[in-house]
């Protein structure tokens, strides 16, 4: 159990909250990440779907912000 949330308690609401937080972090840090990886010219400035960003960034890189958001959510106790 981490900060009051067990694996069995990862229901739809918890996952939705994690994804909302992730979307906020992507909005905040997305342009800087794209620039850092040299992808800003390949990507449209306004993306219709968060999906496009996930598809464009290699999984081993995308894992870093996803893990950060999960850790922060557990730390805050969801």
Mean pLDDT of the chain: 70
- Determine, yes or no, domain membership for 1: no
Say if residue 42's pLDDT is above 70: no
Count of the separate structural domains present in the chain: 1
Instruction: Check: pTM over 0.85? Answer yes or no.
Output: no
Q: Which residues pair with 2 in a beta bridge?
A: 5
Supply the pLDDT for residue 2. 40
- Determine, yes or no, domain membership for 44: yes
Do residues 76 and 3 lie in contact, with contact meaning Cβ atoms separated by under 8 Å? Answer: yes
Pick 47 or 73 by higher pLDDT. Answer: 73
- Determine, yes or no, domain membership for 2: no
Do residues 6 and 78 lie in contact, with contact meaning Cβ atoms separated by under 8 Å? Answer: no
Domain range spanning residue 51? 7-76
- Determine, yes or no, domain membership for 50: yes
Pick 20 or 2 by higher pLDDT. Answer: 20
**How far is it, in rounded angstroms, from Cα 70 to Cα 10?**
11
Q: Which residue has the tokens 């598809």?
A: 55
**How far is it, in rounded angstroms, from Cα 15 to Cα 31?**
24
């Amino acid at each position: 159990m981490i900060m009051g949330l067990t694996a069995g308690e990862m229901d739809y609401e918890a996952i939705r909250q994690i994804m909302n937080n992730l979307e906020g972090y992507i909005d905040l840090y997305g342009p800087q990440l794209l620039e850092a990886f040299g992808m800003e010219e390949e990507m449209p400035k306004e993306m219709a779907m968060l999906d496009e960003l996930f598809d464009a960034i290699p999984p081993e890189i995308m894992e870093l912000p996803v893990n950060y958001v999960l850790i922060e959510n557990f730390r805050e106790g969801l």
